[in-house]
Amino acid sequence: MIYVTRRERFSAAHKLYQPKWSKEQNEAVFGKCANENWHGHNFELFVTVKGEVDEETGFVADLKDLSKVIKTYAIELLDHRNINLDVPFMAGKMASTENLAKGIWQQIEEPLAALGCQLHSVRLAETENNSVEYLGES
């Protein structure tokens, strides 16, 4: 069993804003992240799959295929987008890094399985100081 990790990047805008709350409550909880005119980040996404090494190729997964799935089902929907407004799989959810990691997991799990890859981890770094990881645990 080997774990293979591919990094992809995207740049996006978002805000942390709970529509059920007043503007004051949003600012009290989310501070500058609640700025109504948005802010943004360069996100780094690390996707890890696990599996046996194929004897003929020496691969657990072809990284070209892995990259293509991540790009098709996640990056192309997120890069140079507004996470709150433009991303169907985030509709109706708070645009937090936690929810984004879970949403990306749901987007890519099946297409990766179709490649014969078992998804192990989605790690998402929002800045050099802040990151989250989702292992599919409920």
Which has the closest alpha carbon to 6: 53, 44, 47, 60? 47
Q: Which of residues 45-104 bind a copy of itself (CB under 8 A)?
A: 48, 53, 56-60, 62-64, 79-82, 85-86, 93-96, 98-99, 101-102
Q: Structure tokens of 138?
A: 């409920």
Interaction of residue 11 with a copy of itself, rule CB under 8 A: yes
Q: Structure tokens of 78?
A: 């997120």
Out of 69, 73, 119, 134, name the contact with a copy of itself by CB under 8 A.
134
Q: Structure tokens of 34?
A: 């609640």
Number of residues this chain uses to bind a copy of itself (CB under 8 A): 64
Q: How many C-alpha atoms does 93 have within 13 Å on its Cβ side?
A: 17
Give the dihedral of Cα atoms 125, 130, 134, 138; nearest 10 deg.
-150
Q: Under the rule (CB under 8 A), what is the footprint of a copy of itself? A: 1-9, 11-14, 16, 18, 20-21, 29-33, 35, 37-42, 48, 53, 56-60, 62-64, 79-82, 85-86, 93-96, 98-99, 101-102, 127-135, 137-138
